[in-house]
Amino acid sequence: MPPAGSSARSEASDDNPAMTAGGRPVAIAARGWGLRHPGRREWALRGVDLDIGAGERVLLLGPSGSGKSTLLAALAGLIDPSGGAQTEGSLLVDGLDPRLARDRSGLLFQDPEAQIVMGRVGDDVAFGLENRCVPTDDIWARAAAALAAVEFPYGMERRTDALSGGEQQRLALAATLALRPGLLLLDEPTANLDPDNAAAIRDVLGRILERGGATLVLVEHRVDEALGLVDRVVVLEAGGGVVADGSPRDVFRERGTELATAGVWVPGLPPPTPERRRRPPSETVVMADAATYRYPGAPTDAVAGIDLQVRSSEALAIVGPNGSGKSTLALLIAGLLPPRRGSVLAGESLYAGHGHEPIAAWPARVLAGRIGTVFQDPEHQFLASTVSDELLLGPRRVGLDPAAALRRADELMERLHLAHLAHANPFTLSGGEKRRLSVASALATAPALLVLDEPTFGQDRRTWSELLDLLAALRDGGRGICFVTHDRPFARALADRFLTLGARA
């Protein structure tokens, strides 16, 4: 337990001990390395030949599903062949099996919630330090320093279940940095952060790397912004190995067009955006009047006094800094949380004959047939053991003919590049694949309203563009779309209106 009154708000200066990675930078060597996940026919990676010198800073790129997160997990020593994974070739961290070098590496997962294990912020950062037998007298100083380094907005007593997605991201990064690893493995460290907070975290990382010299392997879709942290780019292909390797300038100059076509984000080559088409007349789908919600035990409202309308044939973007209540508001609009004060009511176009009814009072079957929801964490909505069955759940619940349900599931899998994963367990997919599955599940019942929380999380250039095309076509065909996002280009391309929330006090 942290000392009474401990806070994360100590100065994040260059003298902060968390600003030094501390561990000796380590080298990486792979020879013909490959991995196949349990129950899969295809290899996630195969024939990987790669050398990363101690202290190098590498940006790891590749299309969605190309094995980037898998390689990071393997380097962190988290792949255990006894669990059913099949490996070949060799992968070494400082000349050792990565499982024997775990104390030299620190991994930030793509999903920050997956590595938050304790109920309070300070205890969560201390957990890894205790496991590595850091002296007790040093643990709390290092925890406070790491939280200050990432400019965490609360003290160490804050409950972890009260954090927003972006706040969880900062906490998970602090816990990783507190270990002072010689190998820093970061899987999209700014994915859940708004642009200003993402820039602040990149600045923190840059200072840490300059001071400590840790070896860095970074997976990041915000390629333009990440280039200042790296000196080398390595590109993977799905089921294969390294297809490009060199300085960022050389790789993007010589292979940029080819990589962009394959789905890799390339600076200076943005994906095309859809043209606006003629739309049906717009009608009110959902209306909120002074909608307010406070989570049980919280000292302040997560959402307070929100007035809005969501309309058919329109896309409403909800934007704002981390912790401003965007995800909570999305859940209110979707009928998954009842407002504590105010109201969230259906429009007549959402459910004929039931206009002005509180959406949260509807039975689950009615709600599922009218509103499709994508959660910030896609794993929170997966219930089936295969991708195909996951897509059939909604249509079955609303009574769709089985043959029609199967056709719809097949169409969605094909459209969103999930057909080859039809029999895979949803929890074994990559982050980008999970996000596309959650979007497909929301679409499976053909709802009148879509409520999407960070729909482009983890998407490569190709799937980002295809999601945009799909949602724009639905909007132009008369659907109502409400989406939460930090992805400014996506918001500009899709949204007709913006609702900007302010930071909570």
Residue-wise pLDDT tens digits, 145-198: 999 988 898 999 999 988 887 788 889 999 999 999 999 999 988 887 888 888
Q: How confident is the model at residue 322 (pLDDT cuts 50, 70, 90)?
A: confident
| Whether the predicted pLDDT of 13 surpasses 50 | no
| Whether the predicted pLDDT of 497 surpasses 60 | yes
- Convert the pLDDT of each residue in 198-256 to its tens digit: 888 888 888 888 877 799 999 998 899 899 999 999 999 988 899 999 999 999 999 99
Q: How far is residue 491's CA from residue 285's CA, in Å, rounded to a whole number?
A: 20
Instruction: Give the β-pairing of 57-61 and 215-219.
Output: parallel
**CA of 368: how far to CAs of 336, 384, 400, 402, in Å?**
11, 16, 12, 17
Q: How confident is the model at residue 10 (pLDDT cuts 50, 70, 90)?
A: very low
Q: How confident is the model at residue 297 (pLDDT cuts 50, 70, 90)?
A: confident
**CA of 183: how far to CAs of 27, 190, 456, in Å?**
8, 18, 28
Q: How confident is the model at residue 1 (pLDDT cuts 50, 70, 90)?
A: low
User: Is it true that domain 17-22+53-78+96-262 has CATH number 3.30.930.10?
Assistant: no
Sheet architecture: strand order including 284-293: 303-311, 284-293, 341-346
The sign one gets for the Cα dihedral 81, 87, 89, 95 is: negative
Q: Ranked by mean pLDDT, which of 189-193, 267-271, 335-339 comes out on top?
A: 335-339
Q: How confident is the model at residue 374 (pLDDT cuts 50, 70, 90)?
A: very high
| Torsion of the alpha carbons at 265, 37, 104 and 151, rounded to the nearest 10 | 50
Sequence-separated (6 or more) residues with CB below 8 Å from residue 346: 285, 286, 354, 355, 356, 357, 358, 359, 370
H or E, element range at 387: helix 387-397
Q: How far is residue 28's CA from residue 95's CA, in Å, rounded to a whole number?
A: 8
Rg for the chain, CA atoms, rounded = 23
Phi, psi dihedral angles at 195 (to 5 degrees): -55, -40
**The residue count for the chain:** 505
* Residue 328 pLDDT: 95
CATH class for the region spanning 284-500 = alpha beta
**Segments of the chain assigned to CATH 3.40.50.300:** 17-22+53-78+96-262, 284-500
H or E, element range at 372: strand 371-374
Question: What does pLDDT average to over the chain?
Answer: 90
Residue % of the chain over a pLDDT of 90: 65
Q: How far is residue 191's CA from residue 110's CA, in Å, rounded to a whole number?
A: 8
| Whether the predicted pLDDT of 476 surpasses 90 | yes
